[in-house]
Amino acid sequence: MLLSPRYKFLFVHIAKTGGTSVRKALEGMRWRDPWYYPMFLCSRLSHLSGHRIGTKLPRHAKVIAAQELLPKEHFDALFKFAFVRNPWDLQVSSFHHIRRERPHYLGGNETFEDFLRWKLDPERPYQYHVDTSITLQTDYLADLHGRILVDFIGRYETLHADFETACARIGIQPPALPHARQAKDRKQDYRSYFNDATAELVARHFARDIELLGYRFDSD
């Protein structure tokens, strides 16, 4: 999550949706925000205290966390936005990311199919780096009653164009988006990773995202 009091925006960072590129593009604006320095100091104090003073919004916090922590008039005045991604493609991206950077979280599963079945097993113990990517994307965008709280939802599939739209809403010239890391051994077409059974596993788990965000297995 990235908050800018000066530019009055809140970026809700959903894992594996291009958010790291968006954060890097916008983080340079922090140095021009006079609120950044007291926010940084509070963040350090929060870290040293074990986050007991509640001043830091975590990287992948849901928008409802900001709604609860910020004054209502301040929260309501923010331009709140996020990016989402086709759930099937997101799972392929997550598999390659974990295999490349945190292979000990694969649970001993070497293939995408085995990893996906293990990952979506409700009896599996919770693991942050695994479970972040199977939390419903709409959970990041809504309150406890399911009401969408963000003002703009961009898509990973049209990241550059939608980022420019978000910047226009903020009132800034869009900074260049850095290139996200790509797995060198990843096939470009996510559909090739699935069979009918595993595609249905994702369809069931992410049914609400698929319905509300308008994704399909064969989305371009």
**220 lies in a domain?**
no
Q: What is the average pLDDT across 205-213?
A: 96
Q: What is the average pLDDT across 46-54?
A: 62
Pairing of strands 2-4, 9-12: antiparallel
Q: What is the pTM (predicted TM-score) of this model? A: 0.88
Give the per-residue pLDDT at 30: 72
**113 lies in a domain?**
yes
Cβ(216)–Cβ(190) below 8 Å = no
**26 lies in a domain?**
yes
**52 lies in a domain?**
yes
Per-residue pLDDT of 26-35, as tens digits, reads 987 777 776 6
**93 lies in a domain?**
yes
CATH for 169 = 3.40.50
**219 lies in a domain?**
no
Supply the range of the domain harboring residue 9.
2-213
Count of domains forming the chain: 1
**6 lies in a domain?**
yes
Give the per-residue pLDDT at 6: 87
**218 lies in a domain?**
no
Whether 20 shows a pLDDT value over 90: the answer reads yes
Summary mean pLDDT of the chain: 89
Give the per-residue pLDDT at 33: 72
Give the per-residue pLDDT at 213: 96
Whether 87 shows a pLDDT value over 80: the answer reads yes
C-alpha–C-alpha distance, residues 214 and 211, integer Å: 5
Q: Bigger pLDDT: 129 or 162?
A: 162
Q: Bigger pLDDT: 69 or 80?
A: 80
